[in-house]
Chains A and B, each alone.
Chain A
Amino acid sequence: MTTMPPVADDSARIAAFEARIAADESIEPKDWMPERYRAQLIRMMSQHAHSEVVGMLPEGNWITRAPSLRRKMILLAKVQDEGGHGLYIYCGTETLGVDRQDLVQQLLDGKAKYSSIFNYPTLSWADMGAIGWLVDGAAIVNQTMLAKASYGPYARAMVRICKEENFHKKQGYEIMATLARGTPAQKAMAQESLNRWWWPSLMMFGPHDKDSSNSDELMRWGIKRKSNDELRQRFINLTVAQVKAIDLTVPDPDLKYNEATGNWETGPIDWDEFWRVVKGNGPCNGERIDARRRAHAEGRWVRDAAVAFAEKQQRDNRETTERQQTWTRLGDGATA
């Protein structure tokens, strides 16, 4: 194989790389990329994978208490999907030269970030509706954009995930719609849940563009194609109509429609709350990590058993081969 002609310096490589981004080419694992691009992707993709994994916990809380077998089966399937999404994205992140084991360890050590929304508690059954509808709904808006990300393995994982998220959102909205047309107490439960999840859902898109330290770089390199505020606005416009359709109320007295732009405009978002939760002081930050550690420790024997079984199989196979070779030798001797 030929080797690459020596390149004068990194600036030439960066220029060539950015030309590829500008031409909408897909960057693949073995392609040259600026270290900063790699680092930003590892940061973003591992946080995304952790979010999928931690995202199983608030909903896992309600599996045993689902109100019917139908709802229980749906919730089980949804939580399994979230685990699968975590695996797709961890594997995508590994193509950048990191080890999944290290990423998992960072999460268990409490050093990794994940989406802050999962640090809120799930207090009522209606929260299963609100999470599917709003949290997965917001994730779809974000991930539909990421499906066009410049890094091939990330984009491909997003395509797969987006297909599955639609079921998540629909089942959540169905739970909310069912409660909203139920008894007054059920409708109140749906409204109370919407009240708690509305603002944290808007915060999922991250700080306003002017306050987002990573956005410029991520957009320049085609990892993100739309800004936090653009995505948030799209989510708001989609969701307000869905709230009205099931006769609930958006918990925002300042919400108004802007005829000129066609956008629904909200009151101010409480960014102090956002940063408080990001920095580890949300209602459930500690509980989530404890639950992950416990699950990881309690699953240890399964992982150990899988390794022991594989080793035993290899040993047995080796012994069988050796036995066959011995027979062959003996057979050769007999015919000679």
Chain B
Amino acid sequence: MSTAERSWPLWEVFTQGKDGEPHQHAGSVHATDAEHALQNARDVYARRNEAVHLWVVPSAAITASTPEDMGPFFDPANDKAYRHPQFYKVPKGVKVF
């Protein structure tokens, strides 16, 4: 081989299984551009009608929370039990609320 080949950029693939469902992460593909990434994603992740819709996103464009943040970052959700319906008492006489 004359010259070393560069890796193509990495894209994350999200598939929507059925109309109305959310898009879910399926995996990733390498591709030269967005159009190419869509075609590769179709061939790799939707050979059996697993998708009616696809998103491809450059992996480098994704910002994610880090595992180290897991505790502190999500802390604010932990001490607000009153956000859940189980927090509240309903008078005994009420059968169906």
Question: Are A100 and B30 also in contact (CB < 8 A) when A94-B10, A164-B48, A303-B5 are?
Answer: yes
A81 CB contacts on chain B under 8 angstroms: 47
Q: Say how far A24's CB is from chain B's closest CB, in angstroms.
A: 17
B22 at the interface (CB under 8 A from A): no
| Interchain nearest-CB distance for A30 vs B (Å) | 5
Cβ contacts under 8 Å, A307 to chain B: 6, 8, 32
How many interface contacts (CB-CB < 8 Å) are there between A and B?
60
B67 in the interface (beta carbon within 8 A) = yes
CA distance A3 to B72 in the complex (A): 10
Q: What residues on B are CB-neighbors of A297 within 8 Å?
A: 1
Alpha-carbon distance between A160 and B67 when the two chains are bound, in angstroms: 25
Q: How large is the interface on A (under 10, 10 to 19, 20 to 34, 35 or more residues)?
A: 20 to 34
Q: Does B79 contact A (CB under 8 A)?
A: no
Total count of chain B residues near the partner, CB < 8 A: 25
Q: Does B49 contact A (CB under 8 A)?
A: no
Contact A88 B68 (CB under 8 A): no
Cα of A300 to Cα of B4 in the assembled complex, Å: 11
Instruction: Report A71-103 CB contacts with B as 1/0, cut-off 8 Å.
Output: 000000100110010011001101000011100
Q: Which of A92, A99, A156, A309 contacts B32 (CB 8 A)?
A: A309
- Report which B residues bind A (CB closer than 8 A): 1, 5-8, 10, 27-30, 32-33, 35-36, 43-44, 47-48, 64, 66-69, 72-73
Which 9 A/B pairs are nearest by Cβ-Cβ distance?
A310-B32, A310-B33, A4-B68, A101-B7, A91-B28, A306-B32, A31-B67, A2-B72, A87-B44
